[in-house]
């Protein structure tokens, strides 16, 4: 292969200079130093013509909006709950008490609203659900015994394994009961310092099973009962929805009810059923929340003002009972007929009924009736290559685009891509 094979922008027999090649790619919008990297690589490979596709690949690896047509509402690979963020460059009263002018508390805004929502004495916001569990265990049970049912020693996707998180916290695991059956007598038989109940989230044990409710456990044991809810349903009554709790929610445990049943603390994610940004919430008894906040790990796990602001916005929407202001709850509430009409307006593809799922490790096995567009064959690679990238799934050899997870504002762009396919 000759050194000049391909279309060297400078022409001639010699390969272009790195700088000239990089400048020729300026229209990709990438900063010059990144273009220098791809130009250098293409020249070193003797394949100058590949520089542009290297640059495009680099651009596509950067974080960018995508159209979620998978029908999975809380898709971990797509950032779980969609969330608008206020992007103004402004200072905030993050840790300033505006009344006294003295140093304030990071828990005075989002966290206190979350406590109000769960009817808890106090709450603390950390980086994610895993951080919430880790901090609770480290602060309240480091070096001490934590009882967990063998049926709840679960792995949630992405490497969150309850026994491993527990070991990292410095707490000692005391296994209770069996995989399918755990009774109150099993918990009574151990003398633990803390009792952890974990929502099985993304799987179900069915058949010959038995487990202990939060209420029964809290009444029977001396130590605090901590419930890792994971999915973050705030209140089983769903008062933020005009039509009340939807059928697909079934028996999903909720923060407010777990605390009312006697849990000393609950932990959950901000970006699952809560519908906020990536965050973790610890809510419950003030004395225990304060101990978590004082632990040295709390500093390493605390979120910044962007996240606290987004959590505050979401909490305020719940308190106003305005579920339609929370993108997740707005999307799950759209009637199938409306989705079907949107699918028909796409012109391309066949209008189909399909099923969306909540995802995010919440409510396994329950589907939400939906509608979308189907194309023959597997077209997912072409759709991902579109601008904006469209993420769809293949069902029985057909590509299905579920419109429940697509923002109506993206319908025009989607229709254009579908017609062009």
The verdict on 231 binding ligand PLP (CB under 6 A) reads yes
Is the CB of residue 241 less than 8 Å from the CB of residue 103? no
Distance CA 386, CA 60 (A): 11
Q: In what order do the strands lie in the sheet with 368-376?
A: 72-74, 350-359, 368-376, 398-402, 393-395
The verdict on 276 binding ligand PLP (CB under 6 A) reads no
The verdict on 130 binding ligand PLP (CB under 6 A) reads yes
Q: Which of 35, 229 has the CB closer to ligand PLP?
A: 229
Distance CA 177, CA 184 (A): 9
Q: Which of 156, 298 has the CB closer to ligand PLP?
A: 156
Range 329-333, long-range pairs (CB < 8 A, 24+ positions): 329/240, 329/241, 329/275, 331/73, 331/404, 331/405, 332/73, 332/246, 332/248, 332/356, 332/358, 332/368, 332/404, 333/241, 333/243, 333/246
Find all residues with CB under 8 Å of 48, minimum gap 6, and list them.
4, 5, 6, 7, 8, 9, 15, 16, 21, 42
Find all residues with CB under 8 Å of 103, minimum gap 6, and list them.
95, 96, 97
User: Strand runs (DSSP E) across 170-247, as ranges?
Assistant: 172-176, 194-198, 225-230
Find all residues with CB under 8 Å of 50, minimum gap 6, and list them.
6, 42
The verdict on 327 binding ligand PLP (CB under 6 A) reads no
Pick out residues in 200-229 that bind ligand PLP (CB under 6 A): 201, 228
Specify the stretch interacting with ligand PLP by CB under 6 A; choose among 125-133, 207-215, 299-307, 312-320. Answer: 125-133
User: Looking at the chain, how many residues does it have?
Assistant: 421
The verdict on 405 binding ligand PLP (CB under 6 A) reads no
The verdict on 199 binding ligand PLP (CB under 6 A) reads yes
Q: Which of 269, 313 has the CB closer to ligand PLP?
A: 269
Distance CA 317, CA 354 (A): 30
Q: How far is the CB of 246 from ligand PLP (least distance, A)?
A: 19
Q: Which of 248, 382 has the CB closer to ligand PLP?
A: 248
Pick out residues in 168-187 that bind ligand PLP (CB under 6 A): none
The verdict on 15 binding ligand PLP (CB under 6 A) reads no
User: SS3 sequence, 105-158?
Assistant: CCCCCHHHHHHHHHCCCEEEEECCHHHHHHHHHHHHHCCCEEEEEHHHCCEECC
The verdict on 328 binding ligand PLP (CB under 6 A) reads no
Q: How far is the CB of 148 from ligand PLP (least distance, A)?
A: 12
Is the CB of residue 404 less than 8 Å from the CB of residue 331? yes
Q: How far is the CB of 360 from ligand PLP (least distance, A)?
A: 7
The verdict on 262 binding ligand PLP (CB under 6 A) reads no
Q: Which of 110, 417 has the CB closer to ligand PLP?
A: 110
Q: Which of 55, 162 has the CB closer to ligand PLP?
A: 162
Q: How far is the CB of 271 from ligand PLP (least distance, A)?
A: 7
> Contacts with ligand PLP: how many residues (CB under 6 A)?
15
Which residue is listed with tokens 């399918």? Answer: 180
The verdict on 280 binding ligand PLP (CB under 6 A) reads yes
The verdict on 74 binding ligand PLP (CB under 6 A) reads no
The verdict on 81 binding ligand PLP (CB under 6 A) reads no
The verdict on 277 binding ligand PLP (CB under 6 A) reads no
Among 70, 149, 182, 269, binds ligand PLP (CB under 6 A): 269
The verdict on 128 binding ligand PLP (CB under 6 A) reads yes
Distance CA 52, CA 294 (A): 52
The verdict on 198 binding ligand PLP (CB under 6 A) reads yes
Among 71, 129, 275, 323, binds ligand PLP (CB under 6 A): 129
Instruction: Report CA torsion sign: 356, 360, 365, 366.
Output: negative
What tokens appear for 283 in the block? Answer: 């809510």
The verdict on 160 binding ligand PLP (CB under 6 A) reads yes
Distance CA 327, CA 336 (A): 17
Categorise residue 89: left if φ over 0, alpha if ψ from -120 to 50, beta otherwise: beta
Q: Which of 231, 399 has the CB closer to ligand PLP?
A: 231
Is the CB of residue 259 less than 8 Å from the CB of residue 285? no
The verdict on 230 binding ligand PLP (CB under 6 A) reads yes
The verdict on 383 binding ligand PLP (CB under 6 A) reads no
Q: Which of 301, 418 has the CB closer to ligand PLP?
A: 301
Specify the stretch interacting with ligand PLP by CB under 6 A; choose among 129-137, 167-175, 256-264, 390-398. Answer: 129-137
The verdict on 361 binding ligand PLP (CB under 6 A) reads yes
Q: Which residues pair with 230 in a beta bridge?
A: 268
Residues that bind ligand PLP (CB under 6 A): 128-130, 133, 156, 160, 198-199, 201, 228, 230-231, 269, 280, 361
């Amino acid at each position: 292969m000759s050194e000049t094979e391909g279309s060297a922008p400078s022409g001639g027999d010699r390969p272009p200079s790195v700088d000239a090649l990089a400048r020729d790619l300026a229209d990709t919008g990438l900063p010059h130093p990144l273009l220098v990297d791809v130009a250098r690589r293409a020249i070193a490979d003797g394949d100058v013509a590949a520089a542009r596709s290297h640059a495009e690949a680099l651009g596509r690896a950067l974080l960018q909006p995508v159209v979620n047509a998978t029908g999975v509402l809380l898709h971990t690979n797509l950032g779980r709950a969609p969330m608008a963020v206020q992007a103004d460059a402004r200072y905030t009263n993050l840790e300033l008490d505006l009344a006294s002018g003295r140093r304030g508390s990071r828990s005075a805004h989002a966290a206190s609203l979350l406590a109000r929502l769960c009817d808890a004495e106090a709450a603390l916001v950390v980086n994610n659900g895993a951080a919430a569990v880790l901090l609770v265990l480290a602060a309240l049970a480091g070096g001490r015994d934590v009882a967990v049912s063998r049926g709840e020693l679960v792995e949630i996707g992405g490497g969150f394994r309850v026994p491993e998180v527990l070991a990292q916290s410095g707490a000692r695991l005391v296994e209770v009961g069996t995989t399918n059956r755990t009774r109150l007598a099993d918990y009574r038989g151990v003398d633990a310092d803390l009792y952890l109940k974990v929502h099985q989230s993304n799987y179900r044990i069915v058949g010959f099973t038995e487990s202990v409710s939060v209420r029964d456990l809290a009444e029977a044991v001396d130590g605090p009962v901590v419930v890792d809810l994971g999915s973050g349903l705030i209140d089983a009554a769903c008062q933020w929805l005009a039509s009340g709790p939807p059928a697909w929610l079934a028996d999903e445990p909720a923060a407010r009810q777990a605390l009312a049943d006697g849990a000393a603390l609950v932990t959950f994610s901000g970006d699952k059923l809560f519908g906020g940004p990536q965050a973790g919430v610890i809510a419950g008894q003030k004395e225990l929340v304060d101990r978590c906040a004082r632990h040295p790990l709390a500093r390493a796990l605390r979120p910044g003002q962007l996240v606290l602001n987004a959590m505050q916005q979401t909490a305020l929407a719940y308190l106003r009972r305005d579920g339609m202001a929370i993108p997740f709850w707005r999307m799950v509430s759209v009637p199938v007929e409306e989705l079907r009409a949107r699918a028909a307006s796409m012109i391309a593809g066949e209008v189909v009924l399909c099923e969306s799922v909540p995802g995010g490790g919440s409510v396994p096995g329950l589907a939400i009736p939906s509608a979308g567009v189907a194309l023959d064959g597997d077209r997912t690679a072409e759709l991902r290559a579109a601008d904006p990238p469209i993420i769809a799934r293949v069902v029985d050899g057909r590509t299905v685009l579920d419109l429940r997870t697509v923002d109506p504002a993206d319908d025009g762009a989607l229709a254009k891509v579908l017609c062009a396919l």
